[in-house]
């Protein structure tokens, strides 16, 4: 029997850095550890939600009381998120999604080139958050913005362009903020309220605060 602010709510959360294969042994990815998304999944489960975590990392243990689905590429992530969109009350895109993938994954291990150069052709991945933003009906959609400059300007643009209800902006050029750390410092933007800057804190306490705001928003 579940209790809490998010009892009977279905929450889908993405976490980690997507993995785009170059060939059978190499890939393109990023520095996301998955810690932020896993903390959100834990915090949502603590509040009684029915949580599905779509994870691009294998470095963290599956959170207790959460359904965890492991994926690698942005395309696989997209498929899972869209499969769960109709049933979801809230969707949180904490994953660091690769904006590009190989135009074609090499079937065999790439060999060293005599020219001393190797050219890879990359094509754009779908913007999953933006596509969820266009497709959603009454799901509460939360995105992140990881920036190294002009945090607020870029974050405001992402909130609008991707039709998110909430955007969690982190300046990942700062120490202890964002990729890999156990701590984070964010500013929360919503359509209706003034941006709110939260103090540097552990990802789990921050996750609890974000989930509290989401529960207020979806419980009306
Ligand atoms: O995983 P950790 O090590 O704990 O680090 C946490 C984090 C820094 C990864 C996290 O706090 C964070 O900021 N996640 C989003 C990272 C990111 O890719 O941000 P972005 O500004 O490039 O993308 C904006 C939003 O669009 C994000 O919600 C992202 O999930 C989404 N996106 C981006 C590109 C794409 N092709 N599809 C997407 O859905």
Q: Which of 84, 62, 197 is nearest to 139 (CA)?
A: 84
Query: What band does 85 get if pLDDT is binned at 50, 70 and 90?
Result: very high
Catalytic residue from among 30, 125, 138, 157: 30
> How many CB atoms neighbour CB 170 within 10 A?
21
Q: Are 170 and 186 within 8 A, CB to CB?
A: yes
Tokens of 118: 């190797």
Query: 203-220, pLDDT tens digit by residue?
Result: 999 999 999 999 999 997
As a whole number, the mean pLDDT across the chain is 97
Residue 158 among known ligand-binding residues? yes
**What is this model's ipTM?**
0.99
Which residue ranges make up each domain of the chain? 10-98+121-219
30 counts as catalytic: yes
Q: Which of 197, 126, 192 is nearest to 162 (CA)?
A: 126
Element (DSSP H or E) covering residue 172: none
Residue 3 C-alpha to ligand 1 middle, in angstroms? Answer: 30
Q: Which atom of ligand 1 is nearest to the CA of 167?
A: 28
pLDDT of residue 3: 83
Atom 27 (ligand 1) nearest CA: 144
The CATH fold assigned to 10-98+121-219 is: Rossmann fold (3.40.50)
Residue whose CB lies within 8 A of the most ligand 1 atoms, among 59, 71, 94, 177, for a mutation test: 94
Which residues touch 15 (CB under 8 Å, ≥6 apart)? 32, 34, 36, 37, 38, 40, 41, 53, 54, 55, 56, 57, 94, 95
pLDDT of residue 38: 98
pLDDT over threshold 80, residue 29: yes
Q: Which of 197, 200, 149, 193 is nearest to 171 (CA)?
A: 149
């Amino acid at each position: 029997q579940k209790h809490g602010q998010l009892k009977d709510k279905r929450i889908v959360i993405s976490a980690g850095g997507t993995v785009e294969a170059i060939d059978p042994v190499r890939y393109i990815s990023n520095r996301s550890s998955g810690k932020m998304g896993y903390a959100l999944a834990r915090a949502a489960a603590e509040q009684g939600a029915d949580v599905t975590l779509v994870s691009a990392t294998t470095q963290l243990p599956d959170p207790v009381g959460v359904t965890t689905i492991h994926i690698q590429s942005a395309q696989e992530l997209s498929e899972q998120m869209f499969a769960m969109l109709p049933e979801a009350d809230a969707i949180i895109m904490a994953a660091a999604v690769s904006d590009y993938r190989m135009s074609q994954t090499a079937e065999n291990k790439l060999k060293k080139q005599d020219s001393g150069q190797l050219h890879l052709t990359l094509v754009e991945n779908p913007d999953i958050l933006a596509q969820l933003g266009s497709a959603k009906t009454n799901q509460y959609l939360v995105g992140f913005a990881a920036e190294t400059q002009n945090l607020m300007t870029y974050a405001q643009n992402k909130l609008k362009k991707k039709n998110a209800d909430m955007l969690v902006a982190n300046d990942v050029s700062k120490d202890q903020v964002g990729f890999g750390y156990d701590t984070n410092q964010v500013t929360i933007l919503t359509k209706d309220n003034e941006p709110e800057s939260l103090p540097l804190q552990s990802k789990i306490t921050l996750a609890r605060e974000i989930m509290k705001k989401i529960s207020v928003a979806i419980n009306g």
